[in-house]
Structure 1
């Protein structure tokens, strides 16, 4: 009996259905941004969480944002406004917060 192999994206998306795993994934992506100043990695991570949870069409319907613009905003070259990121995170069940830097 052979096991069916799953691709990497399927495994990641399955894990991102878990709210704690998705939070940790986004936290790591934000830490990467803090280190190198490249927002693209975080935007790609946020897009992966959206795709795993509900998809862009559902996000567009629930937030009132244009689906095509969401794809553009959540691309590695995207440059979203803070309110857009906040709205997306809110739809996913998260919010932005400020944390003290631990030495």
Structure 2
């Protein structure tokens, strides 16, 4: 059996609608894993165009890549600026018991 060349998975290439983006971020939020959430926000920013997000937020493009890399600890205001630039809102709901 001949093996083909593998390529790295890039979630950004699948984030092509508002609904897909919202569901992707909701799943990341629901996981409770902050690294996963930050990575997901970074994926959405890449899908939308990191240069445009940088312009919309007033932050540097390279700074944004670093802020949403695995293990990064971005400031909360950075996360909020990026979410606003992405057209995404977060809401709080009481937990179901």
TM-score (norm 1): 0.77
Unpaired runs of 5+ residues, structure 2, are 1-6
The whole-number CA distance in structure 2 between the counterparts of 1:66 and 1:14 is: 22
Deviations 1:74-97 (A, max 9, x none): 001111122111111111111222
Which of residues 32, 41, 46 is equivalent to 2:41? 46
1:68 is matched with which residue: 62, 67, 74? 62
| Cα drift, residue 14 of structure 1 | 4.3
Q: How many residue pairs align between the two structures? A: 90
Give the whole-Å Cα distance in 1 for the aligned partners of 2:56 and 2:66: 18
Unaligned runs of at least 5 residues, structure 1: 1-6
Q: Does 1:93 align with 2:87?
A: yes
TM-score by length of 2: 0.81
Relative contact order, CA 8 A, sep 6+: which one is greater?
2
Residue 16 (1) aligns with residue 15 (2): yes
